[in-house]
Amino acid sequence: MTRSIRCELFVIGSGMAGMAAALFAAGRGINTIQAGMSSELAYASGLLDLMAVHPVRESRIWGDPWAGIDALIRDIPAHPYAHVEKADIRQALDEFMTFLNSAGLPYKADTDHNSRVITSVGTVKPTYCVPGSIWNVVRALQEKQPCLLVDFRGLKGFSARQIKEMLRENWPNLRTARFSFPSHAPELYTEHMARELEKPEICKKLAEKIFPYVEDARVVGLPAVLGITRTEEVVSNMEKFLNVPVFEIPTMPPSVPGMRLKRIFETGLPKLGVKPLLQQKVRYVKSSKSTGDLIFEVGPSDSRTTVCAKGVILASGRFFGKGLHSDRNSVYETIFNLPVHQPDTRSLWHRKDLFDTRGHLISRAGLETDEFLRP
């Protein structure tokens, strides 16, 4: 069975770029359809970067992301940032954050400066837009406030002691404590923990375990498990129980902050008029000889959808998102077979040292665009 639908704009991709493109199009009254396979958003930290490190080889960190963009454009004149006005970038970020805030997932940013947060391995990361549930760490780290870091027995990939040891020089006033999660299980998973903590009785039980260890701490850090659909409520309850501010630390993927973003977009964009074809792959594309429109075949053969669109935004990602694919000889784009900028031979894809500060040339493979970001 095949159905046909028409639109002005077809967005291919359901990651951050695809969701943002659909959001901006809907906000301008453009009739939009969006298609994409399993979203990478569940693997996102939830942090929104703008520009923090350039040149990478020198590990130069920019406190002012806009100055960092200027430096990047001077060094790499063909970089996509060179084709976008700063005012447009600011407007896009404001529009993006406004949507998230109105959907109950607040984000915060220092307009002209990057903020510093901590990661699950104990490094300090500069970023631009920070989820409200993480924001308290920015001031706490800057002021080196006495802090209690919490982890849980059975939660893999997150160690408060490791974070403390890694941050010893940057943040000496750290203490750690490990607890059993109130909902007992031999192994813990962040999504399960987050959903359990949306139950007030579970949140209270956990807070009662933590409270005796707060002592002189002015802030408490936990792995990012404070709810998925009601994060503001869970954070507020935890702060009331502990009587100090709390902050989340993004965990290893899959990430609860990423799941929150995914949920907000998948529920919020249809309310703005975006027609979703999620978990469906674009199989085929051709051009209409009579109208010049693009015609796409989307989805499995037994329930295929034909999409006729006047324009398309390609936001299918790279290898993980399956926008790019490779064989033994080269890298290719998977939908339009567009030419891909890439090293001349496969032997040049990777350097011998995994941690080579120059990076790997395969990481710069992608589509070249004109000043309008057209391939």
What span, in angstroms and rounded, lies between the C-alpha atoms of 372 and 84? 9
Q: Which of 316, 331, 359 is the last residue of a domain?
A: 316
Same domain, 111 and 242: yes
| Average of per-residue pLDDT across 193-221 | 97
What local confidence, expressed as pLDDT, does residue 2 receive? 75
* 333 in Cβ contact with 327 (< 8 Å): no
Same domain, 157 and 249: yes
Q: Which residues contact 204 (CB under 8 A, 6 or more apart)?
A: 237, 241
| Average of per-residue pLDDT across 16-23 | 96
Angle between helices 86-102 and 65-75 (to 10 degrees): 140
Q: Is the pLDDT of residue 219 over 90?
A: yes
Same domain, 218 and 163: yes
Q: Is the pLDDT of residue 358 over 90?
A: no
* 106 in Cβ contact with 129 (< 8 Å): no
What local confidence, expressed as pLDDT, does residue 41 receive? 87
| Average of per-residue pLDDT across 231-251 | 98
Q: Which of 234, 253, 272 is the last residue of a domain?
A: 253
Q: Which of 269, 289, 316 is the last residue of a domain?
A: 316
| Average of per-residue pLDDT across 28-51 | 92
What residues does 3 pair with on adjacent strands?
A: 305
What local confidence, expressed as pLDDT, does residue 40 receive? 79
**In total, how many domains does the chain have?**
3
Same domain, 186 and 205: yes
Same domain, 143 and 223: yes
* pLDDT range class, residue 51, cuts 50, 70, 90: very high
* 248 in Cβ contact with 151 (< 8 Å): no
Structural domain containing residue 22: 1-43+255-316
pLDDT, tens digit, 9 for 90 and up, residues 281-331: 898 899 888 888 999 999 888 888 999 999 999 999 998 888 999 998 899
What local confidence, expressed as pLDDT, does residue 37 receive? 82
Percentage of the chain exceeding pLDDT 70: 99
Q: Is the pLDDT of residue 185 over 80?
A: no
Q: 69, 71, 62: which is closest to 87 by C-alpha? A: 69
The answer as to whether 61 is a domain residue is no
**Consecutive H or E run containing 284:** strand 282-287
pLDDT, tens digit, 9 for 90 and up, residues 3-14: 899 999 999 999
Same domain, 133 and 228: yes
Q: 206, 272, 271, 253: which is closest to 234 by C-alpha? A: 206
* pLDDT range class, residue 92, cuts 50, 70, 90: very high
Same domain, 308 and 364: no
* pLDDT range class, residue 1, cuts 50, 70, 90: low
Q: Is the pLDDT of residue 42 over 90?
A: no
- How far does CA 211 lie from the centroid of its chain? 32
The answer as to whether 230 is a domain residue is yes
Q: Is the pLDDT of residue 186 over 80?
A: no
Alpha helix locations (H) across the chain? 16-27, 65-75, 86-102, 136-143, 160-166, 190-196, 200-210, 231-242, 256-271
Same domain, 242 and 141: yes
Strands 32-36 and 275-278: parallel
What span, in angstroms and rounded, lies between the C-alpha atoms of 188 and 173? 28
pLDDT, tens digit, 9 for 90 and up, residues 161-181: 999 999 999 999 999 999 999
The answer as to whether 348 is a domain residue is yes
To 10 degrees, the CA torsion angle through 274, 278, 284, 285? 20
What local confidence, expressed as pLDDT, does residue 187 receive? 79
Residue 146: CATH number of its domain:
3.40.50
Same domain, 269 and 225: no
Residue 308: CATH number of its domain:
3.50.50.60
Is the pTM higher than 0.95? The answer reads no
Same domain, 210 and 267: no
What local confidence, expressed as pLDDT, does residue 300 receive? 85
The answer as to whether 187 is a domain residue is yes
Same domain, 185 and 247: yes
Same domain, 147 and 192: yes
The answer as to whether 331 is a domain residue is yes
